[in-house]
Amino acid sequence: MSEMTRIQLLSPRLANQIAAGEVVERPASVAKELLENSLDSGAKRIEVDVEQGGVKLLRVRDDGRGIAADDLPLALARHATSKIRELEDLEQVMSMGFRGEALASISSVARLTLTSRTAEADQAWQVETEGRDMQPRVQPAAHPVGTSVEVRDLFFNTPARRKFLKAEKTEFDHLQEVIKRLALARFDVAFHLRHNGKNVLTLHEANDDVSRARRVASVCSAGFLEQALPIDIERNGLHLWGWVGLPTFSRSQADLQYFYVNGRMVRDKLVAHAVRQAYRDVLFNGRHPTFVLFLEIDPTAVDVNVHPTKHEVRFREGRTVHDFLYGTLHRALGEVRPEDQLATPAAAETVLRPTGLAAGEFGPQGEMGLSASVLERPAESVWRSPGAGYQAPRSESQLPAAEAQGVYREFYAPLATGSTPAALPQAQGDIPPLGYAIAQLKGIYILAESAHGLVVVDMHAAHERITYERLKVAMASEGLRGQPLLVPESIAVSQREADCAEEHGQWFQKLGFELQRLGPETLAIRQIPALLKQAEATRLVGDVLSDLLEYGTSDRIQAHLNELLATMACHGAVRANRRLTLPEMNALLRDMEQTERSGQCNHGRPTWTQMSLDQLDKLFLRGQ
C-alpha cells in the first residue's frame, strides 16, 4: 500500500489550516469572529483598525472582561471555550461564539497577537503565534482592562487562499458590512472603525429610542427610517420588533435586509419565504423589501449550531415561526392608511424617526407613521358606499354574500360606469387625510388639497387597488366555488407528497379542490376552483405539495387566485383619459382612505404622493 493511501493523523498545524477554511474566508470573516468574542466578553466599546482592507492588518480592541494570563495559551487552542461545558449547553446557547475554533483557525493562517488584562490583574499579558509555529509565546505587556487582537498578513503562509481575495475596496466593504450588522444587533455597544488611518464609522452607544433610531439611520440611511414602519408584537412566546420598509422603499437587490434571532444575524429560507409572502401584493416586480427585524425566542426552540459560520439556524417549530412572521408583517403593511402616512410632526416623534423628505424632493407618500395600536386593531372591511363621506368602515360580518363573478361586476361601479352620488360637502371640522379634489390633470391624475398641502393621485392605480381588495374580501367571505371535473385528472407524486395531500385534505377543500388518493404515489384531482383552468390546477397542486413539505405552509393557490382577481380589477378600474366629476374624484379619495394597501396598486407602484406646503414654499423660495 502506497504512502498516499495509508490513513494517518493530520498534524495540528494542517488540521487548523483546514478548519480555517470553514470560518476564515476573507478579512471580514476574521472581523466577525473577533467582534463576536468582544461582545461575549461584555465590551461596551469596540475599536477596529484596518489596513489594506484587512489583509495587512486587522486590530480589534475592546473594554470587556479580558482573559486571565493562565488562559491565554488555551485561547488559541482548538476546541477550547468558556461558553459551554456540557452537550445540553448547546440547546440554550446565547453567546455569539462558542465553538472554540476561531482564534486557533485564524492564528494558523496569519500572524496573531493577543493582549489582554482582567480587572483583577496587576498587568496585562500578551501571547503571539505565527502560522508555521503553533507554540504560543506569552510575555507581560501594557494594556488597559479588556482585550486587543491584532491579525497581520492574512494567508501569508497559504498563498492559494490569498489569491482568491478581491480588491482592497471590496474586502473592506465586506468587513464594514459585518460591523454594521453587529452594530444593529447591539445598540448598547459603541463601534469605531478606521481604515488606513481614516475614521469611517463612529457609532456611539444607543440606550434610548431616539439614539437607536439614529443608529438605524446611520447604518441603513435616513431614507429607510423615513419610509419604515415600526414593529413591536409579542405572541405565544415570540417577540418581533424593529422596522419594515414600506413597499415604495424597495431595492433592486436584497442588500438592506437584516434579520436577527436572539441577537444573532441569520439568513434563513423560512424567514425569507415569510417576508416575501407578506410583501407579495404590494411589491413591484423584481424589487426586494427592506427591513431591520429582531426575533426573540426561547433558546431551546432554535438550533444555532447547524453551520460553521452560524449564519443559519433551524427552528424547532418552523410552521409557528413562519405564520407569526407572515401574519405580523402582512397585517402591518395592510393596516397602513393615508392618515398613518401623513403623521403630524408630534405624532412622528412618537415613532422616533426623522420626518419629511429632502427639500424640494417630490418623493412617494410623504412622511410615514404607524403607532403600535394600529397593529392591534382587528381587520376592517373596505365595504362602504363611495359617496358616504369620511367615516369608519363597516365590519366584515356586514358584507353581502356574492360569488366572485357577481362581485366582479358589482364592484366595478360606480367609477367604471360613471354613476356617482352627489358631491361631498366641503370640509366641516376635520379634513380627510387625502383632502378634497380640486381638479383632474390630463385625464390621469387627481389633484387634491389636504391639510398638509397638495396630494396627487393616480386614479387608475388607486381604483385598481380598491377594486382588487373588495374582490378579495368578498372571496374570503363567500369562499371559493368548486367545479367538479368531468374526467378526474390523475397526477404522479412521491409517497411523501401523497401523504401530505391526505393530511391537508380539508385545507385543499376550502380552497375549492377535491383530491383523492388512488395509490401510494398517485393522486386524482376531482374538483378545482371555478376560476382556474384544469391545466393550471394540475401544475399548481404539485407546487403546493412541494411548498407544504418544505415550509409547512403554502400560499401558491391564494397567490394564483389573487393574480386572477388582480387582472379582473385592472380591467374594471377606471381608465386613463376618462373625465371624472369632482364628486367622483372625492368618492375615490374616501375609498382610498379606508382600503388596505391603498398606497400601492396591484403591481406595487405608488398610487399617490404629496407635497407639503413647506416643500412648495422652498421650491419657490418663499420666506427666504
Name the least confident of 136-145, 553-562, 573-582: 553-562
Helix (H) or strand (E) holding 406, with range, is helix 404-410
Q: What is the pLDDT of residue 167?
A: 94
**Cell 472603525 found at:** 193
Q: What is the pLDDT of residues 251-265, one digit of tens each?
A: 888 889 999 999 888
**Alpha carbon distance 33, 19 (integer Å):** 14
> Rounded distance, CA 179 to CA 32, Å?
8
User: 12-203 adopts what CATH topology?
Assistant: Heat Shock Protein 90 (3.30.565)
Local confidence band at 96 (pLDDT 50, 70, 90 cut-offs) = low
Flag whether pLDDT at 392 surpasses 50.
no
What's the pLDDT at 132? 53
- 2.60.120.10, 3.40.50.850, 1.10.150.120, 3.30.1370.100: CATH of 404-624: 3.30.1370.100
| Dist CA 180 CA 611 (whole Å) | 33
- How would you classify the pairing of strands 291-296 and 257-261? parallel
Q: Which residue has the higher pLDDT, 32 or 11?
A: 32
Task: Give, in order, the Cα–Cα distances in Å from 449 to each of 228, 278, 434, 444, 457.
Answer: 25, 33, 8, 17, 11
Q: How confident is the model at residue 205 (pLDDT cuts 50, 70, 90)?
A: very high
Of 342, 361, 609, 561, the C-alpha closest to 462 is: 609
Cα torsion 215, 218, 223, 224 to 10°: value is -50
Span 131-186, pLDDT tens digits: 655 577 789 999 999 999 999 999 988 888 888 899 999 999 999 999 999 999 99
- Kind of pairing between the strands at 190-195 and 198-203: antiparallel
Measured CA to CA, the distance from residue 103 to residue 30 in angstroms comes to 9
Pairwise pLDDT comparison (581 vs 475), residue with the higher score: 581
Question: Is the per-residue pLDDT at 443 higher than 80?
Answer: yes
| Cβ neighbours of residue 611 closer than 8 Å, sequence gap 6 or more | 362, 453, 454, 456
Plot region of 36 (φ>0 → left; ψ -120 to 50 → alpha; else → beta): alpha
pLDDT at 157: 86
- The DSSP result for 282-308, as a single string, is TSPTT-B--EEEEEE--GGGEE--SST
pLDDT bucket at 549, cuts 50 / 70 / 90: confident
| Residue spans per domain, the chain | 12-203, 209-341, 404-624
Answer for the pair 597, 281: CB distance below 8 angstroms, yes or no: yes
In Å, what is the CA distance from 348 to each residue of 337, 368, 455, 613? 15, 8, 19, 17
pLDDT of residue 342: 67
Q: Would the pLDDT of 216 be above 90?
A: yes
Q: Report pLDDT digits (tens) over 265-281.
A: 888 888 998 999 899 88
First to last CA, the chain: 91
Q: Which residue has the higher pLDDT, 277 or 82?
A: 277
User: Class for domain 209-341, per CATH?
Assistant: alpha beta
pLDDT band at 92 (very low <50, low <70, confident <90, very high): low
Q: Sign of the C-alpha dihedral, residues 384, 388, 389, 394?
A: negative
**Using CA atoms, how far apart are residues 30 and 23, in angstroms rounded to an integer?**
8
Tell me what the pLDDT averaged over the chain comes to.
78
Dump pLDDT digits (tens) for 11-20: 766 666 565 5
Tell me what pLDDT residue 553 has. Answer: 73
pTM, rounded to two decimals: 0.69
487-520 pLDDT, tens digit per residue, is 899 999 999 999 999 988 887 887 778 999 999 9
Query: Is the pLDDT assigned to residue 480 strictly greater than 90?
Result: no
Position 390 pLDDT exceeds 60: no
SS3 370: coil
The band of 309, judged by pLDDT with boundaries at 50, 70 and 90, is low
